[in-house]
Amino acid sequence: MEILTANIIAENIIAQVDEESHCQMLFEEIIDHRVLPDAIPKHEGTYKSSSGAIRKKRTTRGVELCTQWKDGSTDWISLKDLKDSYPIELVEYAIQQKINDLPAFAWWIPYVLKKRHRVIYKLKTKYWQRTHKYGICIPKSIDDAIKIDDVNKNIYWVDAIKLEMKNNRIAFEVHEGDVFKLIGFKKK
């Protein structure tokens, strides 16, 4: 049994934007879909459990989606593959095209929507809503740090950023020489 976890949905949401809320993905959009002959029809989309409850069949068989990429190319991808990579975009497409009641979609769409709302709520409350810590204003970007320093008439945040960059800059320098002489190098 395949379980779509909150981690996949959270990774999908977070992977779509960087720290400055800029979108950087290869995926453009879903432009079309097709239902193949081996797909389970709507009237066979449920079954009766041993306790007598009506349950939805867990299937992704027989549905393919035409995906357009950022470079303009398109591919037909099976629902099972696209569902794991881009669950939110897939749900939005299914609802927009009114195919969310097909058995291949009906069993997992409500779960994804519920998890998406929970993840967004947690992201809003934990990061963007926190502007102060211990009474000190916390910047979300370098521009915010400069503005806070201007308001406070000091340069504490700018100095902290310079110190952090000085300490981390060595990790981004290219070493030209014997790698065995680097401090902390361990041969695997």
pLDDT tens string for the chain (188 positions)? 345 566 666 666 666 666 665 555 577 889 999 999 998 888 888 888 899 999 888 888 889 999 988 777 888 999 988 888 888 889 999 999 999 899 988 888 898 888 888 887 877 666 666 677 787 888 888 898 999 999 999 998 899 988 888 877 777 767 777 767 776 667 76
Asked whether the beta carbons of 68 and 28 are under 8 A apart, the reply is: yes
Tell me what pLDDT residue 22 has: 57
- Cα radius of gyration (the chain): 24
Residues 6+ apart with CB under 8 A from 61: 38, 39, 40, 104
Tell me what pLDDT residue 73 has: 83
CA-closest candidate to residue 102, choices 171, 169, 31, 45: 45
Tell me what pLDDT residue 63 has: 92
Coil, strand or helix at 67: strand
CA distance 4 to 95: 18
For the chain, the distance separating the N- and C-terminal CA atoms, rounded to the nearest angstrom, is 38
Q: Is 21 left (phi over 0), alpha (psi -120 to 50) or beta?
A: left
Q: Is 135 left (phi over 0), alpha (psi -120 to 50) or beta?
A: left
Tell me what pLDDT residue 2 has: 45
